[in-house]
Amino acid sequence: MDLFEQAAAAKQAANAPLAARMRPETLDELVGQEEIVGKGRLLRRSIEADRLTSLIFYGPPGCGKTTLAHIIAGSTACRYRQLSAVTAGVADIRQVLKDAADDLKLYGQRTLLFIDEIHRFNKGQQDALLPAVENGLIILIGATTENPYFEVNGALLSRSRIFKLQPLQPAHIMTLLKRAIDSPKGLAAYHVVVEEDALKHWATLAAGDARTAYNALELAVLSTDPDAGGVRRIDLAIAEESIQSRSISYDKDGDWHYDVISAFIKSMRGSDPDAVLHWLARMVGAGEKPEFIARRIVICAAEDVGLADPMALTVAMSAAQAVHFVGWPEARIPLAEAAVYVACAPKSNAAYMGLEAARADLSAAPFAGVPIHLRDANYEGAKRLGHGVGYKYPHDYPQNYVPQQYLPEGFEDKVYYRPTENGREARIKERLSELREGTDKEKNKK
């Protein structure tokens, strides 16, 4: 690099966003992620000993994935190369691998390749990396906000250690912001004084994303004029203007999608309408498909409420139809009504569990066919075969009920539906008990 290139690089670094200027350079400067890089942890020992294998860092934006890769780059004897999966193609990968082979052959130096947003590589691009990872030509570090088990080839996963990074806590972000205010690399030259309430506001609304907090701090400082003493004073009102709303962590195809809908369903099943509305709000705010939410409510109404309150399924289906009729954003209203109804309804999975028990029994005994008195007798020749002979029409008997065998041979004594005492199912249980008692008496007479 000549003098002109050095000057340009220095100017670019000085003009870089605050988040880039404040990027930690050592593990001791790193804030958060103690569970994976704290003192004595496996990853920290591997970094300090320069004994790394291929790694995949998985976590939400702004939690330190790229920072950790840069720290590793500064502490390894390997040659460091970086690609972004957003802009790189197979040709870029092949060039990096060619250079890596040359470095290993000529200088005995391995290459550490960091790929940001690795989940954006397609299968072919990921496959191009596999031989170099497998034979040790490169040490791969991939960073992704998506669940790697969904987005990264199994072959690469099996050759890498996966570390899940957690969102930073508000206390972590407070530490980072205070460091940026006092640091010569940060905002020390601006003589900034920030009220504690303003720092807490940024730390809370950043939702674990340090970059969001840094951007808000920098915007507040640069847009605030100094007072007569040259001090820029940032209060809560200025902080609120610089960061308008909390970032919602949610991906509609990956981990958050499945985790949030799981929490939503379990909250309905667990009869907690407040939690149901929280998770619903998170999905609505993230733009989740309303049809997907409606389907899960319908399933929960049938599976978890069942006959304890048959109206739950009716309400859920009405909401699903309303979703198609009105669309976003008004679809959130019938969805909220149906989800809360299902959450508050009495619960019984007796019908569903009865079906599962029946399915499990299908291979337990040979199927002798439909009992002859239950077979269809409405086509020509059926009666000559004996179909329908002996069938008792329930409406010809008192209370429209008559004991007779409905289960096939080998299953006669099976009881699959065991109603609970919850909601309307208690009345069903009482009626079935009476009917089953009458059936048992009829069997004893025979």
Give whole-number Cα distances, 212 to 62, 127, 206, 245, 247, in Å.
7, 34, 6, 11, 8
Tell me whether residue 16 is in a domain: no
Tell me whether residue 12 is in a domain: no
Tell me whether residue 359 is in a domain: no
Per-residue confidence band for 126, with pLDDT thresholds at 50, 70 and 90:
confident
Nearest to 112 by CA among 87, 145, 137, 148: 137
Tell me whether residue 386 is in a domain: yes
pLDDT at position 266 is: 92
- Its pTM stands at 0.60
CATH (domain of 111)? 3.40.50.300
Average pLDDT in the 331-343 region? 93
Same domain, 135 and 195: no
pLDDT at position 243 is: 83
Nearest to 265 by CA among 283, 287, 239, 238: 283
CA gap 393, 228 in Å, rounded? 98
CA distance between the termini of the chain: 102
The rounded radius of gyration (Å) of the Cα atoms in the chain is: 32
Same domain, 186 and 221: yes
* Residue that finishes a domain, picked among 138, 164, 190: 164
What one-character DSSP code corresponds to residue 201?
A: H
DSSP character string of 336-352: HHHHHHHHHS----HHH
Same domain, 55 and 156: yes
When mean pLDDT is compared across 39-43, 139-143, 377-381, the lowest value belongs to: 377-381
pLDDT at 6 exceeding the cut of 70: no
pLDDT at 195 exceeding the cut of 90: yes
* Residue that finishes a domain, picked among 133, 164, 195: 164
Per-residue confidence band for 15, with pLDDT thresholds at 50, 70 and 90:
confident
How many residues are given for the chain?
A: 446
Q: Which domain holds residue 201?
A: 170-242
Average pLDDT in the 264-288 region? 88
Does residue 408 come out as left (phi exceeding 0), alpha (psi in the -120 to 50 range) or beta?
Answer: beta
pLDDT at 220 exceeding the cut of 90: yes
pLDDT at position 232 is: 94
pLDDT at 155 exceeding the cut of 60: yes
Tokens 């992620």 belong to residue = 33
Q: What are phi and psi of 144, to 5 degrees?
A: -150, 145
Tell me whether residue 351 is in a domain: no
Same domain, 73 and 158: yes
CA gap 137, 110 in Å, rounded? 6
Q: Which residue would you say has higher pLDDT here, 366 or 422?
A: 422
Same domain, 181 and 218: yes
Give whole-number Cα distances, 156 to 64, 80, 90, 111, in Å.
22, 20, 16, 17
CATH (domain of 238)? 1.10.8.60
**What sign does the CA torsion over 97, 98, 100, 104 have?**
positive
Percent of the chain at pLDDT above 90?
33
pLDDT at 289 exceeding the cut of 90: no
User: Using an 8 Å Cβ cutoff, are 263 and 279 in contact?
Assistant: yes
pLDDT at position 380 is: 66
pLDDT at 250 exceeding the cut of 70: no
CATH (domain of 278)? 1.20.272.10
pLDDT tens track for 104-119: 889 888 899 999 989 8
Average pLDDT in the 298-319 region? 93
Average pLDDT in the 263-292 region? 88
Tell me whether residue 116 is in a domain: yes
Rounded to the nearest angstrom, the gap between the alpha carbon of residue 282 and the centroid of all alpha carbons in its chain is 12
pLDDT at position 90 is: 85
Cβ neighbors of 225 (< 8 A, separation 6 or more) are 232
pLDDT at 9 exceeding the cut of 70: no
User: Using an 8 Å Cβ cutoff, are 199 and 178 in contact?
Assistant: yes
Same domain, 137 and 56: yes
* Residue that finishes a domain, picked among 242, 271, 289: 242
pLDDT at 257 exceeding the cut of 90: no
DSSP character string of 289-339: -HHHHHHHHHHHIIIIIGGG-THHHHHHHHHHHHHHHH-TTTTHHHHHHHH
Average pLDDT in the 432-437 region? 80
Per-residue confidence band for 441, with pLDDT thresholds at 50, 70 and 90:
low
Per-residue confidence band for 18, with pLDDT thresholds at 50, 70 and 90:
very high
Sheet holding 111-116, edge to edge: 79-84, 111-116, 138-144, 55-58, 161-164
Q: Enter the tokens of residue 99.
A: 């250079």
pLDDT at 5 exceeding the cut of 60: no
Q: Is 424 exposed, middle or buried (0-12, 13-18, 19+ CB in 10 A)?
A: middle
pLDDT at position 391 is: 85
Same domain, 153 and 57: yes
Same domain, 83 and 43: yes
Same domain, 157 and 51: yes
User: Using an 8 Å Cβ cutoff, are 345 and 423 in contact?
Assistant: yes
Tell me the residue ranges of DSSP E strands in 231-296.
Answer: 232-234
Tell me whether residue 350 is in a domain: no
Q: Where are the alpha helices (DSSP H) in 108-243?
A: 123-134, 148-151, 154-158, 170-182, 196-205, 210-222, 236-242
pLDDT at 268 exceeding the cut of 80: yes
When mean pLDDT is compared across 157-161, 212-216, 237-241, 256-260, the lowest value belongs to: 256-260
Same domain, 159 and 41: yes
Give the count of domains, the chain. 4
Same domain, 144 and 237: no
Same domain, 101 and 148: yes
CA gap 383, 385 in Å, rounded? 5
pLDDT at position 334 is: 94
Average pLDDT score over the chain: 85
The packing angle between helices 290-300 and 332-344, to 10°, is 20
Q: Which residue would you say has higher pLDDT here, 28 or 389?
A: 28
Average pLDDT in the 43-62 region? 88
CA gap 400, 398 in Å, rounded? 5
Tell me whether residue 22 is in a domain: no
Give whole-number Cα distances, 130 to 122, 125, 156, in Å.
13, 9, 6
Rounded to the nearest angstrom, the gap between the alpha carbon of residue 13 and the centroid of all alpha carbons in its chain is 36
pLDDT tens track for 375-389: 777 776 667 777 877
